[in-house]
Structure 1
Amino acid sequence: MFYQDLVILRKGFYISPPPTPLRNFTQTPSPMKSTLLLCFLGLFLMAARPASEIELVKKHVLSERVEILIPKGFEVMSEQQMDFNYAKAQSRPSVIFTNNNLVSLAFNYSDNESDQDMVDMYAATFAKTYHKQYKDATWFGDGVKNINNHKVGYLEFMKPEMGHQVYTLVFFTDVQGKLMICTFNCADRQKTEWEPVAKQIMLSVKANSEAGK
């Protein structure tokens, strides 16, 4: 998969105003001092903000069949890069969005037939298969959610891969009679930052019943 520890450091500073002189305690601060104090306070508050604010933008993928939120700045992986990454795989995703391979969001529009009645079946089958395949994984949950009046199955876990732990959120649903599977991956050290984003992405998925036909 495509991951790498990404460390974002945001440094802030606070400079205390000079001590008040012992004399003339009732002295009114000058406008210049008041302005400086406000600037220092602003810098302090900025430093206290979250380390990362990830913006999501609405996209249409898989020939307009799916509407979903994707992190701003993510680009579609080139065919050459996909060929390299999946050289030994039996199959590969239909399209992958990534931020320079640090975090990936892959879509697979499969040939497997599916409808709303089959989502529960796929959820049970995938859970059994993944639990068996990734015996050393740490599981956070699996099941079926109702998202935008549509059944969406999901699997959430942390699995070992190439000497690292990888956070993975898989979600799937039927799109125009076929099964669509989306897989979000990031390194374990990025989980705190990206897990809420991955779930926002899942909760935004909408299938278009007409586009792409």
Structure 2
Amino acid sequence: MKKVLLAAPILCLMLLLMAARPFAEVELIKKRVLSERVEILIPKGFEIMSEQQMDFNYAKAQSRPSVIYTNNKEASISFAYTDNTADQDMIEMYEATFYKTYTKQFKEAKWFNHGVKEVNGRKVGYLELMKPDVNREVYTLVFFSDVEGKLLMCTFTCADRQKPEWENVAKQIMASFKANG
């Protein structure tokens, strides 16, 4: 009887400790993307989205990313290498313009942060927000910089309920951004 009485509090304590522990660490691996132009950390297990899936997901979009890494739609990071001219002196201007555009387009969005920071010796603009999407909210971290005279846009997204698990990972990805050349 004493063993049973002792087992219940121990079981409760174990359940509490398991519930309180942080999400499992996401392992990040170094990848070179966009024809070796960029080096960046990507979560292990993320795969490049197929052309067919990209065509389906972006059928109604004006433009689509150059490449998307995803883990079966739970979270994704996309890279759009644009035709827009860009250099280090233009990053603040792009950040101000994007912030203005996003605040108009997503009036209900909850903003966490935006600005320009130095990452590996380069100016990187960023927008961090929770925005509405089809039937849900989406945590979004957009970051961008110039690569070989053009603007590169990177966007990390996941469902709102997954923000606690992915927010720090998204910021680690942004902090690993390195343009080659």
Q: Same fold (TM over 0.5)?
A: yes
* RMSD of aligned residue pairs (Cα, Å): 1.8
Measured in 2, the distance between the counterparts of 1:63 and 1:202 equals 19
AA aligned to 1:133 is Q
- Runs of 4 or more, structure 1, over 6 Å off, are none
Unmatched runs of 5 consecutive residues or more in structure 1: 1-16, 20-39
Matching residue of 1:126? 98
Measured in 2, the distance between the counterparts of 1:136 and 1:55 equals 33
Deviation at 1:126, TM superposition (A): 0.6
Q: Secondary structure at the match of 2:115?
A: strand
Alignment partner of 1:173 is 2:108 = no
Aligned length: 170
Deviation at 1:50, TM superposition (A): 2.8
Q: 1:55 pairs with 27, 51, 63, which one?
A: 27
Alignment partner of 1:158 is 2:130 = yes
Unmatched runs of 5 consecutive residues or more in structure 2: 5-10
Please identify which structure carries the higher strand content: 2
AA aligned to 2:107 is K
Q: Secondary structure at the match of 2:114?
A: strand
Q: Which residues of 2 match residues 140-151 of structure 1 at below 5 A?
A: 140-151=112-123
Q: Deviations over 1:95-149 (max 9, x none)?
A: 0000011101000000001000011110111111111111000001111001111
Deviation at 1:51, TM superposition (A): 3.1
Q: 1:94 pairs with 59, 66, 79, which one?
A: 66
Measured in 1, the distance between the counterparts of 2:22 and 2:95 equals 35
AA aligned to 1:198 is A
Measured in 1, the distance between the counterparts of 2:82 and 2:73 equals 23
Matching residue of 1:33? none
Measured in 2, the distance between the counterparts of 1:144 and 1:165 equals 25
AA aligned to 2:173 is I
Measured in 1, the distance between the counterparts of 2:106 and 2:65 equals 20
Q: Deviations over 1:34-54 (max 9, x none)?
A: xxxxxx9xx89x946433221
Larger CA Rg, structure 1 vs 2: 1
Q: Percent identity?
A: 68
AA aligned to 1:131 is T
Q: How high is the TM-score relative to the length of structure 2?
A: 0.89
AA aligned to 1:153 is G
Please identify which structure carries the higher helix content: 2
Measured in 2, the distance between the counterparts of 1:168 and 1:142 equals 11
AA aligned to 1:150 is R
Q: Deviations over 1:54-110 (max 9, x none)?
A: 100000000000000000000000001101111111110000000011101000000
Deviation at 1:183, TM superposition (A): 0.3
CA spacing shift, 1:51–1:141, aligned 2, 3 Å: closer
